[in-house]
Amino acid sequence: MREEDSNWFAKWEDELPSPEELMPLSQTLITPDLAIAFDIRNPNSPNQFHPPPPTLNQNQINNVNTAANSPQPNSSAEFDSDLGGTGGNGAAGSGCGSGLDEPARTLKRPRLVWTPQLHKRFVDAVAHLGIKNAVPKTIMQLMSVDGLTRENVASHLQKYRLYLKRMQGINNGGNGGGGNGNSPVGLSGSGVDTAMDRLFASAPVPAHFLRPNADHFMPYPPVSMQVHHPQIAVQPPMVGHGPQLQQQFRHFGHSPTNGQFEHPFLGRQSQQQQVQRIGASIHGNDNDHHGMPASYVEDMESATAANGRKVLTLFPNGED
């Protein structure tokens, strides 16, 4: 009896995992998957990254990274290649530089840092869904970023809505109540400029987000929507006449009234005006790109359509 007990104990003890096999109490706050996703390097660990996780859209992340790494006049440049490595690690302290090879299951979810790249993805998702349908779960699914939770998105959405609300106030009342309603979304002159504001400003807020009755307009132009290079020819993807054209205007969120249409970034203008403004952006004749972030301009310049024309892809990183 007693001998059996001691045998059992010895056996049990023998089967205990070695210290190397034990999951450390302190773990990295950024999961390997997330680290891969956002190209976060841990200075403490020389580990190289593993191949990207299956669900992660690595191409899009890479695109985003490239855009962020090249110097831009845009304010987003200050976020630069720092893709969240700053704040993320501090919380748990105890920097146990665990050289884990297998995905470390974090005991507590790491504090997510919303980088401009991640936020842009968020905005793209919201824009794609339309404000009406943009709820955390759907947004999360559309973003398809490994490790991103519904709670993360819900929290961010909460802040983003507050931001939009504030921007609406600025655009409607606070800003002298301009009549054309095409002011690019930004904080210039508002006096509000927190880090969060800069983050939100780093991705363009589609103009129709700020319309009180935004659901009158269909969501965002689909990914496939492209505008040809203005210098050569601007052909918004509107074809046809009469009801057909109107339908398309509605579909793309454009207002067909008075021959003007609603550009997601530039607001309501005649096509001619938009041609000029976009053209100026491309050729560096304006600095703020009328609300379009530099990454978009860069995409505009780099993208080339099959027919050789340069194109502006409204969803440079989008899927569809």
Nearer to DNA, 119 or 290 (CB): 119
Q: Residue 159 interacts with DNA (CB under 7 A)?
A: yes
Q: Please report how close the Cβ of residue 205 comes to DNA at its closest, in angstroms.
A: 16
Q: Please report how close the Cβ of residue 316 comes to DNA at its closest, in angstroms.
A: 23
Q: Residue 138 interacts with DNA (CB under 7 A)?
A: yes
Which of 53, 100, 150, 298 is close enough to bind DNA by CB under 7 A? 150
Nearer to DNA, 73 or 90 (CB): 90
The footprint of DNA on residues 75-94 (CB under 7 A) is: 90-91
Q: Please report how close the Cβ of residue 196 comes to DNA at its closest, in angstroms.
A: 3
Nearer to DNA, 147 or 316 (CB): 147
Q: Residue 158 interacts with DNA (CB under 7 A)?
A: yes
The neighbouring-strand residues paired with 311 are: 228
Nearer to DNA, 28 or 281 (CB): 28
Q: Please report how close the Cβ of residue 31 comes to DNA at its closest, in angstroms.
A: 12
Contact characters 174-203, DNA, x per CB under 7 A? --------------------xxx--x----
Contact characters 96-135, DNA, x per CB under 7 A? ------------xxxxxxx--------------------x
Q: Residue 137 interacts with DNA (CB under 7 A)?
A: yes
Q: Which residues bind DNA (CB under 7 A)?
A: 90-91, 108-114, 135-138, 150-152, 154-159, 161, 194-196, 199
